[in-house]
Amino acid sequence: MINISDLRVRYGRETALDGIQLNIQKNKTCAIIGPSGCGKTTLLYTMAGLISPESGKVLIAGEETRSVRKETGLISQSGGLLPWKTARENVALGLKARGVGKEQITRRVSMILEELGILEHQHKYPSQLSGGQKQRVSIARTLVLEPDLLLMDEASSALDALTREHIQNLILRLYLKNPTTLVLVTHSIEEAVFLGQTIVIMERAAIKQVIENPYFGDEDIRSGPEYYHICQEVRGWLKEETEAALGEGRRES
C-alpha cells in the first residue's frame, strides 16, 4: 500500500528526514513513535501529500504522491472542527464538497454518528461537546469519506488517560470491523503498542528500529504480560535515542 524509498525532506538548512525507507502493507496498521523533533509528523504529512520531499518517493497504491489524495483521510491533534457548525454539519462537510446527494449524506452521516456512539449529540456545537466527543466527531468526519488510507497525528494526546483509552478501543474496533491501512504518529508507547501491528521507532530524521507486534488486535491486551514486554522493548530503544541526544547536547554546550 505504502512504499517509501530514500525520502529526504529539508526545512531550509535543517534536515527533517534523511533517506527514509519504509513499506506498509495494505490494510495493516503502523504506529510511528520517537522523541520530539525526530521527524515523525513530517513523515506523516509527507505521506498525506502536504509536504513535498527534496528527493525520494512516496508511493501509495502504486502511484507517486505529489499532492493530497482523495482517498487519504487525515485526523490531526486539534480535530479541526468548525465551531459554528454542529457535529452533524461538520461530519457532512466533506461529502457536500464532493457533491454527494442530500439523501445519501443524511444516511451516511447518521450511520457513522451512530456507529461512533454520538448520534444523540448530532445537533450540538463543538463548544458543547467533551474532548472525547469532539474527537469522535473528527473521526466520523474522516471515516464517512471511506478512505483507503487513514493517517492520525497525535489524535488522542490532548485527552485524559481514561478517555484516551476509550478512543483507542474505538479505533481498534472500527479497524477490526472494516480494515483499512492506518498510520498513526504518537508520543505514547502504550498507544503505539495497542494500535500498531508494526511499530516504527524514529531517531532524528531517520528510522532507528522496526518492531512487529504479534499481539495486535486484542482489546484486553493491556492486562497481559506480553503487552508490557513489548512496551519495555519500545521504551528501551527510545531510551537509547534520548540518552544519545542528551550526550550530543552536552558535547555541543
Contact 33, 210 (CB under 8 A): no
Euclidean distance between CA atoms 92 and 106, whole angstroms: 8
Please tell me the predicted confidence (pLDDT) of residue 80: 83
| For range 112-120, the mean pLDDT | 92
Q: What is the mean pLDDT of the chain?
A: 89
Helical spans, DSSP H, in the chain: 40-47, 87-97, 102-115, 131-143, 161-177, 189-195, 225-252
- Summarised one tens digit per residue, pLDDT across range 44-97 is 999 999 999 999 999 999 989 888 888 999 988 777 899 999 999 999 999 999
Q: How many CA atoms lie less than 13 Å away from 96 in the CB half-sphere?
A: 9
Q: What is the mean pLDDT of residues 175-179?
A: 91
Task: Please write the tens of the pLDDT for every residue from 138-162.
Answer: 999 999 999 999 999 987 776 788 8
* 171-183 average pLDDT score: 92
Confidence of residue 253 (pLDDT cuts 50, 70, 90): very low
pLDDT at position 243 is 58
In the chain the first and final C-alpha atoms are separated, in Å, by: 44
Q: Nearest-5° angle of CA 149, CA 167, CA 127?
A: 100
208-244 pLDDT tens trace: 999 999 888 888 888 888 888 999 999 998 886 555 5
